[in-house]
Amino acid sequence: MSSINKRIKYAVATGHHLTSKVAYDILEAGGNAFDATVAAFLLMSITEPAMSSAFAGGFVNIHSVERGNLLIDYFTQTPVSKQLAKPKYEEIIVDFGASKESFYAGPASMAVSGAMYMIHHLIDHFCTMPLKELAKPAQEYAVNGVALTNFQAVDLELLKSIFGLNESGRNIFFNMDGLKKQGDFIKMSAYSDFLESFAREKQDWVYRGEIAHSLVKHCEENGGYLTHADFESYQLKISKPFMFKLGDIDISVPGLPSLGGGLMYKYTKALWKDVNASNTKEYFARSVEAFDLCEPYLKDGTKLFEDIAYNGHSMSSNIMTNGTSHFNILDKKGNAVSLSVSIGEGSGYFIPNTDIHVNNMLGETALLPNGLDSWQLNQRLSSMMCPLLAYQDHRLIMSAGTGGATRIPFSLAQVLYNRFKLNKSLLEAIKAPRMYKNSQVCYLESGINYTEELIDVDVKQWSEPELLFGGVHGIDMLEGEAQGDSRREGNALIKYT
């Protein structure tokens, strides 16, 4: 392993240039990584509206200089009851070009989110700046607007049927000519008002007060499952992450309800054996074997739970999120945050007077083997999200993560392989061609030599980097490097000592 090249004072790597700027500005002003996390997360509702909101869910992998390595699970929870005569869904068919997939939005698709509990937990236990100050950047951008980037515009185009279901959504994301395009401004003035009240009233206002009352009333009148009991019973889950070794490196990832960490472990252990290149037929053959090894776990997550000693979590249903983003933050004291977030595709419902888009985590039918409403009561939903921290000799050396649905653990594993097995730079590791194989198709980026006789599925190959493989954004403390993945318009800012 190479020695330290440049020493980072602080750094950020995110999915949007303004998210990076706001986080970096907080660090420049003397805030810590947790202050920057709060400001960045609150902003993502505007900068990455197809992936995040105040009613999203996800995981935060934390390295605290004072408290060690902790995992905050703020993911979505299923309702406590299914006593609903006619749950109302809206079927949405999304055309991804190579395939079409059905998702369900509407009142019955919504699950309880822990995002605002997560924010206040950071404020109460880790932050040094008041929430009112940390919310200001998001409030300003919500009022003044954020121009849609190419990637965000593409995402909205895919999901326009969902974002147009509700009048509030149409007011934000559509104009007289239809869906807003790249360069058009997104404004959320009601979200600014929500943040003002949230900073003053705290999480009980959301989970036991006005916001919960509004959402429950909508569900009662329109065929949704959520009740006051769901909001009152929600709790953050704080635990030690799932750890595994790659040579002399310790990898820290979420345990259950994320399946991503376990799949990364299985895939990476198989991939690292005997192979020392990433663009050869030998690499392709080994990777195919690794994917085939993981295939049973993709079909039945309980097998993964049985084979790996996950840390103290029970297995829940088998939903995996699609619309996911990620960011990393490192401060001058060495605190680090690796955070992933998702709203699925969104329910299409924006809570009145807030501009908050509620998730649709109960509407991912392709991954509910028994169909709609087959989820278990009062359980965390499962996910592929996998915010990652890496350690060497007990010293933090990397923070990374990505979106990309089922590809998440495999894209991260391939970056780790290129960075630490082949000793490439972080930028080279992120840019290296990726692949993903399931029981129907093998997806490849140009640069991977493949042998058709090794696989019995169709091959889909792109000549350019493809957003299907997510956006692996990361910070490398060993080499003093921070990078955003160009596949999803990633952005990084860094300051050296």
**Predicted pLDDT at 313:** 43
CA atoms of 398 and 130, how far apart (whole Å): 28
Backbone angles phi, psi at 387, to 5 degrees: -60, 130
Average pLDDT, the chain: 91
Residue 143 CA, chain-centre distance (Å), reads 25
pLDDT reported for residue 412 = 98
Q: What is the pLDDT of residue 151?
A: 95
Give the residue with greater pLDDT, 256 vs 65. Answer: 65
139-157: pLDDT as tens digits: 999 999 999 999 999 999 9
Give the confidence band of 321 by pLDDT, cuts at 50, 70, 90.
very low
| DSSP state, residue 453 | G
High-pLDDT (> 70) share of the chain, %:
94
**Could you give the angle at which helices 189-201 and 33-47 cross, rounded to 10 degrees?**
150
Q: How many CA atoms lie within 13 A of 282 on its CB side?
A: 6
How sure is the predictor about 319, in pLDDT bands with cuts at 50, 70 and 90? very low
User: For the chain, which domains are there?
Assistant: 25-239+322-367 (no CATH), 242-317+386-496 (3.60.20)
Average pLDDT over residues 269-296: 84
275 contacts 267 by C-beta, under 8 angstroms: no
Which two three-digit tokens encode residue 145?
A: 């607007």
Residues forming beta bridges with residue 358, ordered by sequence position: 55
Question: pLDDT higher for 85 or 425?
Answer: 425
Dump pLDDT digits (tens) for 376-428: 999 998 889 999 999 999 999 999 999 988 899 999 999 999 999 999 999 99
